[in-house]
Amino acid sequence: MRGLNEDAPPSSLSELKSMIASRQLEFPDQLERVVRCALVTPELIAFGSSNSVALACSVSPTTVVRLAGFLGFQNFRDLRTLFREHLRRRAARVSASGRSESRI
């Protein structure tokens, strides 16, 4: 099990995915369950509470909070911010591509 407790947390969801793909992170079973759910449905973390995320992932709320620390964040709120920023950037890209297509 290798986390980022003492390192800087990922600055984007893309960076987190890259770290997972390159095996820089190794998750215990319960944390992996939360990460898998979160990557499939980023809205879960972005707009949920630690309790609602825990319920959706069939883990305890403590596990969700522990994931934030494991990734190097100070708290769950900081982890949620990472996911919200990801969704904002994604929405901006979709919006921008929609505007450029409507001009054609």
The reported pLDDT for the residue numbered 95 is 82
DSSP label of 4: -
3-state DSSP of 29-90: HHHHHHHHHHHHCHHHHHHCCHHHHHHHHCCCHHHHHHHHHHCCCCCHHHHHHHHHHHHHHH
In sequence order, the 6+-apart residues with CB closer than 8 A to the CB of 50 are 61, 64, 65, 76
Domains of the chain: 13-102 (1.10.10.10)
The reported pLDDT for the residue numbered 24 is 84
pLDDT tens for each residue of the chain, 104 residues long:
456 555 689 999 999 999 888 888 889 999 999 999 999 999 999 999 999 999 999 999 999 999 999 999 999 999 999 999 999 999 998 888 776 555 54
Rounded to an integer, what is the distance from CA 16 to the centroid of its chain?
8
The reported pLDDT for the residue numbered 104 is 47
The reported pLDDT for the residue numbered 80 is 96
Task: Give pTM, 2 decimals.
Answer: 0.81
